[in-house]
Structure 1
């Protein structure tokens, strides 16, 4: 009987921790169900829904590390996307089924849990599977990246699914385009047309789209990018620029979190000495993981910035920037994964400490927060 109660309490703790993660929201969780309810409340029509298969709009998507070696070895990316179907109408985490989007049984699961058409000729099913693939390909589900990728693929669902205003989307797009401008001017420096400014602006837009390889061939040749790799390389570069923009904006929050970890992450109440030892070990692991993630992001972005400025500011060797472009897809995923883990752990922390100036926690919530935060930051 005691063992049963213990098992139930552990399961309940896991559900509560997952619920807190969902409540916190993050670039690791795309709560399509909640967003879909907002779209409906805003008068969204079926033609504007994200998915054609109705029940997919009531799912929750989470970026998670694969749970075992076999799945990790079979995957092309270190982090997968899990889709969660709730048993309840509220689409919460208290009861349901989940499956990774790269699972070989995904299509069968979509038919069973979401009612997706089983016909291989179904255009609606094919469209939904493409959107699932877009979600799976992203290192994080940042609204800007998701919306931009959807637009690039020709999808135009209700803007309520992306949680980014038109003004903010435009600001980020302008920021990215400014970094594209020098490479276009360098690759097409021989252009003497009277409408050169307009021509170069057109090419910058083509670089944003990343699909017109004929128009961009001089740039591809200069940067040694093959036609087969062009679209993915340009998209990854765009993603790195976006994460650099976010990194600069996040520093105050990241530093505040680091300060709390170093000065306020100690329990308010007393506990047995053995429990204190275990907690101290977890807190130490938590701090090291956070520092490791932050340092990794900083170094990768600094490597990009140095290669960019070496070529376009100092007008020196293009080799460092060419090397960056060759590994841009890997860096895009690594930076995005680490940043979203940091953001997720900070957002979770805020659900525990709130906005109070007194941010000390009692032993049990502090221990629970440490366990979940380690899991998020560790990536295992």
Structure 2
């Protein structure tokens, strides 16, 4: 592991979990004394339960590690010394070639071990956003302690209120406006946010002519779209602030000509990419919004049915986009907060390269433009 990689790992140790990182080591240090943490871990294997789980955008030389082509992988990092991350760590990608053999040799886990199933559930998500991760695990009957998910009660309440406002047109279409509709809106919001297999809103499923498994997966992704719409709305002011700060941040110490050229070019590229990814995410959300309006305003359930059928693919795309934006905003808050240590030249270059990689278009080949610098 290179010096730069070690520094990045040390930063992950101090920072909180984000859409890109599930910091189980930090959770262990802060909550390992609690009974709930001991009784309801994410992983049964102690080493995995103190690992760093990272959504990693694959570099070109890493693509051959997988049987199928993919752009983002789930990286499991096991620190060599949990008290000193400068010593680095060992890592494996979930479902890379030889994954089950490596997990058996390293941890003694058989292919049917529950921890491997949990890792694959995480890998199936486009980001490790705590809300969606919690929902994904609950769907599989896995309910770890609340300390693993950095979701405040206030955020959950705001999310429920946002969903209620979003689905009100659907309830009004069915019942009209009035006191009964208000109660029905709350009940329907509860059903959408529920993971109870018996709470599938059968009337809507039958209206849309969907098979139970299609409908259940579509509803989960609809919930994801609602959450991501809320996230994007909540992030916009922070995103604008970070985009402006990228243009003006200056590193500590002497900047040679090559570094200056890289940083000057990087500022504009990153600002453009941040704006482009937000715009692209908005366009993806517009697909949902148009389908929903067709259902509620034009009485065309077929359009919403088509949306639910393609929702899993769109959900993955949207999750990767917003996961990248959330990572940029959360890391910037952490590293460039008031009172934080000044950032040196090499570290600022690392940050720019990390952001550029995360914000790169999934079909774009990352070539010489940044890596050569």
* TM-score of the pair, normalised by structure 1: 0.79
| 1:326 alignment counterpart | 309
Match of 1:131 among 94, 118, 122: 118
For residue 141 of structure 2, give the secondary structure of its aligned residue in structure 1.
coil
Q: Alpha-carbon deviation of 1:367?
A: 2.8
The answer to whether residue 132 in structure 2 is matched with residue 145 in structure 1 is: yes
* CA apart distance, 1:73: 6.4
1: CA distance, partners of 2:204 / 2:45:
41
CA–CA distance in structure 2, aligned partners of residues 137 and 326 of structure 1? 17
Aligned residues: 356
1:12 to 3, 28, 49: 3
Structure 1 residue corresponding to 2:52, chosen from 52, 60, 63: 60
Query: 1:288 offset after TM fit, Å?
Result: 2.5
Residue of structure 1 equivalent to 2:227: 242
Structure 1 pair 326/210, CA: closer, same or farther in 2 (3 Å)? farther
Q: Decide whether aligned partners of structure 1 residues 369 and 130 sit closer, same or farther in structure 2, where only a CA change above 3 A counts.
A: closer
* 1:90 aligned residue: 83
Q: Corresponding residue for 1:80?
A: 73
Deviation at 1:331, TM superposition (A): 1.8
How far residue 274 of structure 1 moved from its aligned partner, in angstroms, is 4.8
How far apart are 1:324 and its partner, in Å?
Answer: 2.5
Q: CA deviation at 1:29?
A: 0.4
Matched, 1:258 2:249: no
Contact 1:38 1:160 in 2 (8 A): no
What is the deviation of 1:249?
1.1
Could you tell me whether the CA contact under 8 Å between 1:53 and 1:115 is conserved in 2? no
Hey, what does 1:3 align to over in structure 2? none
Partner of 2:216: 231
Deviations 1:232-254 (A, max 9, x none): 11111100100111111111111
The 8 Å contact of residues 269 and 362 in structure 1, kept in 2 or not, is answered as yes
Residue deviations 1:307-338 (CA, integer Å, cap 9, x gap): 323432x3354454333323211221111111
Q: Give the unaligned 5+ runs of structure 1.
A: 1-7, 190-194
Contact persistence 1:293–1:377 (CA under 8 A): yes
Per-residue Cα deviation, 1:244-299 (whole angstroms, up to 9, x for no partner)? 1111111111110122234x145677745554333322223222322221111122
Matched residue of 1:81: which SS?
Answer: strand
Under a length normalisation based on structure 2, what TM-score does the superposition of the two structures give?
Answer: 0.80
Note if 1:155 corresponds to 2:146: no
- Distance in 1 (CA, whole Å) between partners of 2:184 and 2:334 is 50
**Given that residues 82 and 99 in structure 1 are in contact (C-alpha distance below 8 angstroms), is that contact kept between their aligned partners in structure 2?**
yes
Structure 1 contact 267–366 (Cα < 8 Å) conserved: yes
Structure 1 range deviating more: 234-243 or 285-294: 285-294
The secondary structure found in structure 2 opposite 1:242 is: helix
Give the RMSD, CA atoms, in angstroms.
Answer: 3.5
Q: Distance in 2 between matches of 1:226 and 1:110?
A: 36
Alignment of 1:161-240 (within 5 A): 161-176=148-163, 179-180=166-167, 183=170, 205-209=190-194, 212=197, 216-240=201-225
Give, in whole Å, the separation in 2 of the partners of 1:69 and 1:232: 28
> CA–CA distance in 2 between the matches of 1:265 and 1:69?
33
When residues 38 and 218 of structure 1 are mapped into structure 2, their CA distance, relative to the original with a 3 A threshold, is same
**Residue 283 of structure 1, aligned match among 246, 267, 271:** 267
Which moves more between the two structures, 98-107 or 271-280?
Answer: 271-280
Q: Secondary structure at 1:260's aligned position in 2? A: helix
Question: Residues 184 and 212 (structure 1 numbering): CA distance in 2 closer, same or farther, change over 3 Å?
Answer: farther
Structure 2 partner of 1:377: 359
